[in-house]
Amino acid sequence: MNIYIASLFEGFWLNIRLFILTLVMAIPLGLVITFGSMSKFRPLKWLVRTFVWIIRGTPLMLQLFVVLYSPGLLFGVPMKSRMTAAIVAFVVNYAAYFSEIYRGGIESIPKGQYEAGAVLGMTKSQVFFRVILLQVIKRIVPPMSNEIITLTKDTALARVIGIAEIIMSAERFTKQGLIWPLFSTGLFFLVFNGVLTLALGWLERKLDYFRV
């Protein structure tokens, strides 16, 4: 029984790695995309919005295949590592979703907050970082929490390009006639998301000292 469990843990470690790397890169990349989609320079704005539309409008599963195969097909340089392909696809996909959450958050801040900062002689970046940002963060924590919890489960999709994440590891045993490892993978996700929910709830409470 220990080899089964060890194998599940090994698989889940890949899910966790993919989860962490995606978050670490998609959170800042999303902000860059937001600035693009809110740009006053129209061509850039429409280019970025079209990109976001394509990313959000097609399945992540398909995007995984595209990232894995297109470097080889288009440029003759095959993707060396499947994990790299998965990370690229996940980061781009989640950054697109995050960017829309950020945009909603930024646009929900009343114009008066910017004006109040400006008439007090603050620079644009001081207004953004000292006045706007924390209010945006407070507003986006609930939708971001939702998206982050979805991400943990989406990491299981990486198996379509041959990454031996937890469900793929468990399926091997199913082929040998053993079903319980597959079913028990759910527990891994449940426990992980439980911890995550607590952490995000803590963050939400940390920002409870003010109202927006």
Partner 1 sequence: MPILEVKNISKRFEDTEVIKDISFSLEKGETLSIIGSSGSGKTTLLRCLNFLETPDAGTITVNGEVIFDAADPMSRSEKGIREKRLHFGLVFQSFNIFPQYTALQNVTLAGLLLAKERPDYKARKNEIQEEIINNAKAILDSVGLSSKLDFYPHELSGGQQQRVAIARALALNPDILCFDEPTSALDPELTGEVLRVIRELAERKTTMIIVTHEMSFARQVSDNVLFLDEGVVVEYGPPEQVIGNPGEERTKQFLERYFENGNA
Among 135, 152, 155, 169, which residue interacts with partner 1 (rule: CB under 8 A)? 135
Stretch that binds partner 1, among 37-45, 67-75, 114-122, 175-183 (CB under 8 A): 114-122
Q: What is the DSSP string of the chain?
A: -HHHHHHHHHHHHHHHHHHHHHHHHHHHHHHHHHHHHT-SSHHHHHHHHHHHHHHHHS-HHHHHHHHHHHHHHHHS---S-HHHHHHHHHHHHHHHHHHHHHHHHHHTS-HHHHHHHHHTT--HHHIIIIIIHHHHHHHHHHHHHHHHHHHHHHGGGGGGGT---HHHHHHHHHHTT--HHHHHHHHHHHHHHHHHHHHHHHHHHHGGGS--
Of these, 29, 79, 118, 164, which contacts partner 1 (CB under 8 A)?
118
User: Applying CB under 8 A, does 152 fall inside the site for partner 1?
Assistant: no
Closest CB to partner 1 among 135 and 185?
135
210 in contact with partner 1 (CB under 8 A): yes
- The region of 6-14, 133-141, 160-168, 173-181 touching partner 1 under the rule CB under 8 A is 133-141
Told to check if 212 binds partner 1 by CB under 8 A, we report yes
For partner 1, which is the closer residue by CB, 135 or 152? 135
Least separation in angstroms between CB 209 and partner 1: 7
Residue 50 touches partner 1, criterion: CB under 8 A: no
Interface residues for partner 1 in 70-109 (CB under 8 A)?
none
